[in-house]
């Protein structure tokens, strides 16, 4: 983020509050040396950890087992040209 770019960093509590409002996030991982993105349903536990519910034999589990991944979720207001 750069000064005056219209973005601001969100604190942990605000992030958790916003995450609790959206039903779908994304897991970003590497597949064959390229970025891959999988949509996921998720929930937050009492400590704010992201919980995923999937089959132990799913593509998601095979893709991320032992891998470094990123989790993303957001909300966009197309009319107001804003979001988080």
Length of the chain: 84
Name beta bridge partners: 37. 28
Residue 2 has pLDDT above 80, yes or no: no
Paired tokens of 51:
């919980």
Yes or no: say if 1 and 9 are a contact pair by the CB < 8 Å rule: yes
The residue written with tokens 């916003």 in the block is: 18
DSSP 2: -
Q: Rounded to whole angstroms, how far apart are CA atoms 58 and 52?
A: 12
Yes or no: say if 53 and 41 are a contact pair by the CB < 8 Å rule: yes
**Of 7 and 17, the one with more pLDDT:** 17
Residue 51 has pLDDT above 70, yes or no: yes
Kindly report the pTM of this predicted structure. 0.75
Paired tokens of 74:
């957001």
- Per-domain boundaries in the chain: 23-76
């Amino acid at each position: 983020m750069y000064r005056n770019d219209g973005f601001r960093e969100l604190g942990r509590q605000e992030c958790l509050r916003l995450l609790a409002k959206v039903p779908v996030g994304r897991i970003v991982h590497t597949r064959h040396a390229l970025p891959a993105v999988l949509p996921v349903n998720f929930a937050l536990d009492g400590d704010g950890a992201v919980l995923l519910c999937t089959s132990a034999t799913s593509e998601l589990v095979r893709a991320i087992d032992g891998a470094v991944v990123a989790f993303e979720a957001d909300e966009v207001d197309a009319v107001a040209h804003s979001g988080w």
